[in-house]
Amino acid sequence: MTGKPTVSSLDDLPVRDELRGKSPYGAPQLDVPVRLNTNENPYPLPDELVARITERVTEAARSLNRYPDRDAVELRTRLAQYLTRTAGHPVDHRQVWAANGSNEVLQQLLQTFGGPGRTALGFEPSYSMHALISRGTGTGWLSGPRNDDFTIDTEAAVAAVAEHKPDVVFICSPNNPTGTAVAEETVLALYEAAQAARPERGALVVVDEAYGEFSHRPSLLPLLAGRPTLVLSRTMSKAFGAAGLRLGYLAADPAVVDAVQLVRLPYHLSAVTQATALAALEHTDTLLGYVEQLKSERDRLVRELRAMGLAVTESDANFVQFGGFDGAAGSHAVWEALLAHGVLVRDNGVPGWLRVTAGTPEENDAFLDAVRAVTKELKEKSEA
C-alpha cells in the first residue's frame, strides 16, 4: 500500500495551500431562547404563503424527473418586475441572474471575474464572506480602509483602488456588520477609480445590497445604465424573510449575466427552489410589510442602547452594531454573558463591538433586559 494509511487532520490532506490553517464560515447555530445573531427576519412566512408554496412545489414535483429551467426565466422575470416596481426604474430579466443565495451569486462573480492571479478589494470590517469566497476561488484579497465611525472615506478608498488596481471591488451597503449605508457619490467615485485603474477592460464593482430594503437610501439601479461592470447583489434571505429558501440574485448589464453562464453549474437552481421563490414573489407586499416594523424596532434598539450609555453605530439595516467595550476581550465577555442570559448575538471579531439583529418586539425586549443585567454584572465585577 502506498501513501498515508490514516488522516488525523486536514493538514494531512493535499488541500490547496491557501486553505491550510483557515477556518470555515461559522456563525454559531445554538439552541437558545433568543437568537439574534444571523440577521434573519424573525417572522415566519404567513400561512397563505405557506399554502401557495405547497401548491407550487406540488406542481413542480410532478416534473422532477426532468431538469429544471436552466435559465430560470420565469423567476428572473418576476425578480426584474419586483426591482422595477420598488426602484421605480425599468429592469428586464436579461439584466437579472439568480442563484442559491447571494453567496452563490458572489461566488459565480468571483469565478468569472476573479480567480488565480487576480485580486478583490473590500473595505473592512465588512461581510466576511467577501474575503472567504475570494480565497475559495483563488482570488487574492485586499483590505481597504474605513473611518473610525465605520463610514468609507471616499478619498482614501479611491486611493486604495488606484494603488492596488483590483479586478473586483466590493462595496457592502448597508454594510454588515456595521449597518452603515454608502452614499451614491462614493459608489460612483469608486466605480470611476476602478475603471481608471484598469483601463484595458475595467474592473467589476459589486455593491452587496443584501439589506437594501431596510435602507433609507434610494436604490442604485438607475446607475446600471452605461456602467457595464457595475453589479448589484440582492437576496430574499433578509427582507423577504426567506433565509431557508436560499435565493439570491444580481442586477447588472446583460453581458455580466451572460458572463456568469460560463461558470454556473448546469441546472444549479432546483425546480423546488424556483417554485418556492415564485410563490414568495406573489406575496411581496405581505412579506415587505414586516420591513417597516423591523426598521422601527431597529431604531428602538439604537435609542435604548444609547440611553444605556453604549456606543451604537448608525444603522440602515435590520441589525445594530453596539459597543464601547474594552477591546476584543471586553466584547467577547459581553457576548458570553448575554448567552448565559439566553440571548445569542454576534461577535464579528470587531474589537469592542457586537452586532444584534432586530427581532420581534418581545425578543428585543429580552435582549435589552439582558444587556442591562450584563452591563450591571460586569460593572459590579470590575468594582469588586
Ligand X SMILES: Cc1ncc(COP(=O)(O)O)c(C=O)c1O
Smallest distance, Å, CB 99 to ligand X?
9
Using CA atoms of 64, 65, 71, 77 in order, give the dihedral in degrees to the nearest 10. -40
Does the protein bind ligand X through residue 101 (CB under 6 A)? yes
The residue length of the chain stands at: 384
Cell of 164: 492596488
Please work out the total of residues on this chain that contact ligand X, with binding judged by CB under 6 A: 13
The correct pick among 140, 166, 248, 323 for binding ligand X (CB under 6 A) is 248
**28 CB contacts (<8 Å, ≥6 apart)?**
37, 344
Smallest distance, Å, CB 367 to ligand X?
19
Smallest distance, Å, CB 43 to ligand X?
16
Does the protein bind ligand X through residue 237 (CB under 6 A)? yes
- Nearest residue (CB) to ligand X, 219 versus 235: 235
Smallest distance, Å, CB 343 to ligand X?
19
- Nearest residue (CB) to ligand X, 109 versus 374: 109
Does the protein bind ligand X through residue 235 (CB under 6 A)? yes
With CB atoms as reference, the residue minimizing the distance to ligand X is: 101
Cell of 79: 425578480
CB-neighbour burial class of residue 93 (10 A; exposed 0-12, middle 13-18, buried 19+): buried
Does the protein bind ligand X through residue 128 (CB under 6 A)? no
User: Near ligand X by CB under 6 A, which window of 59-67, 96-104, 294-302, 328-336?
Assistant: 96-104
Maximal CA-CA distance, the chain: 69
Using an 8 Å Cβ cutoff, are 284 and 49 in contact? no
- Nearest residue (CB) to ligand X, 229 versus 235: 235
- Nearest residue (CB) to ligand X, 250 versus 334: 250
Distance between CA atoms of residues 349 and 289, nearest Å:
32
Cell of 102: 447571494
Alpha carbon of 144 to those of 71, 113, 167, 282, 290: distances in Å? 35, 19, 14, 40, 34
Smallest distance, Å, CB 378 to ligand X?
29
- Nearest residue (CB) to ligand X, 56 versus 238: 238
Contact track, ligand X, 259-288, x by CB under 6 A: ------------------------------
Other beta carbons within 10 angstroms of residue 312's beta carbon come to 20
Q: In what order do the strands lie in the sheet with 204-208?
A: 96-99, 248-251, 230-235, 204-208, 168-172, 119-123, 140-144
The correct pick among 124, 208, 297, 347 for binding ligand X (CB under 6 A) is 208
Region 1-60 residues binding ligand X, contact defined as CB under 6 A: 39
Return the beta strands (E) in 110-257 as ranges. 119-123, 140-144, 168-172, 204-208, 230-235, 248-251
Smallest distance, Å, CB 267 to ligand X?
19
The correct pick among 159, 188, 189, 243 for binding ligand X (CB under 6 A) is 243
Does the protein bind ligand X through residue 127 (CB under 6 A)? yes
Smallest distance, Å, CB 108 to ligand X?
12
The correct pick among 37, 41, 176, 276 for binding ligand X (CB under 6 A) is 176
Name the nearest CA neighbour of 314 among 201, 162, 147. 147
Residues that bind ligand X (CB under 6 A): 39, 101-103, 127, 172, 176, 208, 210, 235, 237, 243, 248
